[in-house]
Amino acid sequence: MSNLMADLPRLTKRSALFLDFDGTLAPIQDDPDTVAMPGETLAAINRLQLFVAEAICIISGRDIRDLSSRVPLSHWRAGGHGLEICKPGEAPATVAASPPRSLSNAVEMSVRGLEGVRIEHKGPVFAVHFRRAPELGDTLLARLSDTVADQPDYKVQAGKMVIEVKPVSANKGRALESLMGQPPFAGRSPIMIGDDTTDEDAFVVANRLGGTSIKVGEGPTEAHHRLETPDSVTSWLSEQGQG
C-alpha cells in the first residue's frame, strides 16, 4: 500500500483501540521473558482510558497469564492470539489449556540438536525462537510444517525470528471481530496496531469493519499506515485525546 507514513489516524471518542504487545508496545528482546512495557507507554495507554473508556484491548500471541503479568488488569487482554480473553479487572484462569502430548513431543523432536533455538510454551501455542540462530529459519519452518501435516487443528506461522505452531482458531482477526460485536467495542471504529505477520489478520478485519490499521516497522502489509518503532507508537499514543 502507498503513502503509509502520511496522514496517521487520530483516535476519537468513537474509536476502539487494539494493540499488539511485543514489537509494538514493548521493544523485542532476544529473551522474550525480559520484555517489559516502558512506563511512558503504560502512562499513555492509561490516559487514553479517559478518552475511549474501556474500548482498549491488548491483543498478543503471549499466553493470557503471561500477558496479564506484563500489562495492567484494568485493560481488556486477548492472549494466545485471541484464544483467551479477559475483561478489565478479570484475572485469567490459573491453568492454561495444553496442546496434544503427541504434538508436544513432535515439536521437541523437530528442534532437537539445533543450537540457539528455544521453544516457548504459551498454553496450546508453541513459539520456536531462533533469533540467536537466524540461519536456521528455513530448516525450522520445513521441520515444523512436516510436524503439523497430520494435525488438522494446528498450523504453522512464521514471524520475526520466531515460528509458531498454533491452533487454527488462534487468530487475531477473529478475536478483533468477536470483540467488535460486544460492549464496549460495538458501534465503534477499530484501529489495530501491530508489527508482525500474526497482526495481518487483524489489520484485514479492522479495515473491513470500516476502521484502519498501523504497521510497526518494515515489511509488506495490509495496514493503511506505518510507524517505525515502538517508541513511535508511544509518541502516537501520547498525542491522542489531546486538543
Which residues does the annotation mark as catalytic?
20
CB of 172 within 8 A of CB of 155? no
SS3 readout for 148-203: CCCCCCEEEEECCCEEEEEECCCCHHHHHHHHCCCCCCCCCEEEEEECCHHHHHHH
Of the candidates 55, 53, 62, 54, the one whose C-alpha atom is nearest the C-alpha of residue 26 is 62
Distance CA 21, CA 101 (A): 29
169: Cα within 13 Å, side-chain hemisphere: 6
Q: Considering only CA atoms, which of 154, 27, 133 is closest in space to residue 81?
A: 154
Cα-Cα end-to-end distance for the chain: 30
The candidate with the shortest Cα–Cα distance to 162, out of 14, 28, 71, is 28
Q: How far apart are CA 116 and CA 130, in angstroms?
A: 6
Cell of 67: 500477558
Per-residue DSSP letter, 80: G
CA-to-CA distance for 85 and 17, rounded, in angstroms? 15
- Single-letter amino acid, residue 73: L
